[in-house]
Structure 1
Amino acid sequence: MLITVTTTHQPATDLGYLLVKHPDRVHTFGMPTGTAYVVYPEADTERCTAALLLDIDPLALSGARTRRGGSGRGGNPTPDGFTLGQYVNDRSYAASSLLSSALSTVFRSALRGNSKDRPELAATAIPLELRVPALRCRGGAELTEKLFAPLGWTVTAVPIPLDPSRPDWGDSRYVDLTLTGTLRLADALNHLYVLLPVLDDAKHYWVAPDEIDKLLRAGAGWLAEHPERGLITRRYLAHRRALAGAALARLAEQRLADEPADPDSIVEAPDCGADEEAGLPATVDRQPLAALRRAAVLAALDSSGATRVLDLGCGGGALLTDLVKNRRYTEIVGTDVSSRSLTVAERRLRLDRLPPRQRERIKLWQSALTYQDDRLRGYDAAVLMEVVEHLDPPRLPALEAAVFGHARPETVVVTTPNVEYNVRYPGLAAGAFRHTDHRFEWTRAEFADWTGAVGAHYGYAVTISGVGADDPEVGSPTQLAVFTRTAPNPTPQPTDLGDAR
């Protein structure tokens, strides 16, 4: 079985540094089921291709299957359904979980995003083409599109005829798969590591509980948000219901930590496998509200000209990941009162894999927004995205004093739900808030009163807009305010905004 990795990033031969395999050599690795080889059929400054060839020994495969207690769904020792299936099968030719295991052994450093010689390149998205010329795919070419396209790949999956000389026989269960895109090599390899056995849907070894950790480690940063994460999880864990349920629960925890205030968390399907807002109104271009909200915040920051930014109440780091991608931000700080949320953000940002120069741009601090923290002073902009509604109203003056009075950035961007829009959510009971942790949700008039009072008190001009589809009766689902500092010093007296709450 074969897989090729091609790049046109120049000099293209830097692919050898990323894979830690020199293009001028043939690299050989002993595997439990045969021998793996890495060769470079082409290697020059403009284009470089590395090929991983796994030569399966059928007798070794049979012995490994017996020692490990079977293979395939439920550990069946004859996955192809007949007595000689462990000897007569396609495992020597079609990409499967065997190739996924070879990837993890041969390209271990590349999967982790580590490169001693080219650390900055390892952290950079580069043009890539991956090809698997023979892939057993239970679900056909359509499933490859569903799995890879949301990850940024352009997918070309050509069904392989059952017999080219007999077109009336139709297609086989195999496809010739080509993926093209601009991604980090580590991300590309982790996509393959997880999704090859998912498409094959028959692992060659017994699936134990530690497979959950392997799945979540390889799926860090993408699996929790994948629209097919339910199917991916179940197939990767060989349809073992208990393991799949545990993995999906951990993925759901990640999503809740990343987006604590998004309506998705209210109407999540029972198996945590659906990514759509079931029963909720469609958003602009069918984008999730959370994505539209982050885009609006990023646009506001861009207009402000800020380069040093605070994400206050950053949660699991959803906004931080977008900020890190933009090189204009020279210093990015995420704060949260929850150490668990900061741990999730650290994993999501993959701080341990970033080169030192990139790592120095990012700081994660544990800090409460109702206390004045000297570390937060002197920044260009601060973001409070879906944060204020999580505070009890009597504590809001402390937040105002800490952010607008003490930290006092040039720009503050605030988003919060528009309670008037809640009537458009069929899954939300009358009078209920969008999240169980919300202490209040404001109408548009209440939000305007609060922002106006805070701006006048602390010397900020305020502009208000909406995020999401603008309903003529109830407005947009999210309210956004941009505070721009106009006065050098805050007024010392506390605010009295009880009527706005």
Structure 2
Amino acid sequence: MQLTLNAKGQNASVMSYLLAKNPNNIYERKQKGHYVRLFYSRFSEEETEVTIFVTPDPIELTKNSSSTYDITHYINDREFAVSSIFCSFIRTALGTALNGQPADEYKKWVDEPFDFQVDFGPIASSLSDETLYKLFTPLGFDVLIEEGEANYQFELKKRSTARFVTLTGKTTLQRVLRQLFVLIPVIDDYKHYYIDEKEIEKLERYGEGWLDDHPLKEMILKQSLRFEEVYKLIDQPAKEKHKVEEPVKKRLNDMRYEKIIETIENLPKKETIVDLGSGEGKLSVRLGFIEGVKQILAAEPSQIATKKALERFEKAAKKESFLMPERIWSSLFYYDERLAGKDVMILCEVIEHIDYERLPKIMDTIFSEYKPESLIITTPNAEYNQVYELGDSFRHTDHRFELDRKQFQEWCAERSRDYPYSFTFEGVGEIHETLGAPTQLCLFTRKEERA
């Protein structure tokens, strides 16, 4: 993941002073198991080009340090794309330019515009090219978006889903960096770090002079301040002004879990349950209170999430009639004999986090190898996103796709076509007259095999 800044014009070499980085030296620092490096590829009075890039530390890959390199990093591209994580890595290196605080004799150049070309990528985003154009063109940039080449040894897809962005326009170094530090996390559709009062102040500071007039201001704020904790830190008028769908999603989570519990309680066989992709155990802990259940497998590839789940289970264990789920380290991408032959399997808000082309193999494994009596899948209804006014954005942080009701029903029918399963559909959450419910649920039921 990298960012390149090319400045042309008289006195372009002053960039080195604005960045407080000597063009004769390579800057290298270690940040949270990654290397941050900065170097100049061009340096003259008329043109200066500097690149900052981040790479994982290969030594860390050989260490048994799950807190640094969780397995989910290998099935999730966020650690390797230009994102909020990337911004957090490079913020210290670019701090002088971001804050406009070079040595006193060079402060007069902070407000000097240059002809800039800015290249960054790869990005992994749910936003369309059209939305990306709408984010940057109002700031005075010409925008070029290119997709990476996909050089697979077998026919999977011809184009990579990763994109590279080039911006050209006349601006100051501080201004373009501040715009990038606001908009890259918006493009990423995910902020990995906790948003507190300092984050709000940073948004206000970096957005000064351009954000208030941006036609997509509300969308930018929704993406930047998406967590509920933010609204406890700002006054009521601002809270109403920047209100987003998160409180609805939190209530929807409860409704989704309740519907899954209700569905399981009505099943004839429910003694053994597998919660696939159980995460931090929010659903699994509720499964532990279902009467008649004798085994719950909380299957999750992330050791960090599994640790948090254990804390949740241990807290619930103090209550009566709680069946402690068994935490198992397991991934959907590999066959695990421990998951075979169970009464119920659950994929709660999981499939949309997986690349679409990888799902058929996973479903084939479930139906042909694991053979559960019942399979429950929940996933967002893409049509309902209109209610949340999300535009081209997906519903949540790391979704690779979202299906409308017709697409989901056709997908379920196609996946189970060669296997002895019937299926039914239900909506979960407040139903819109034309758009349906926010969540859709499919219950697959294994048919009795005749002799």
Structure (1 or 2) with the larger CA radius of gyration: 1
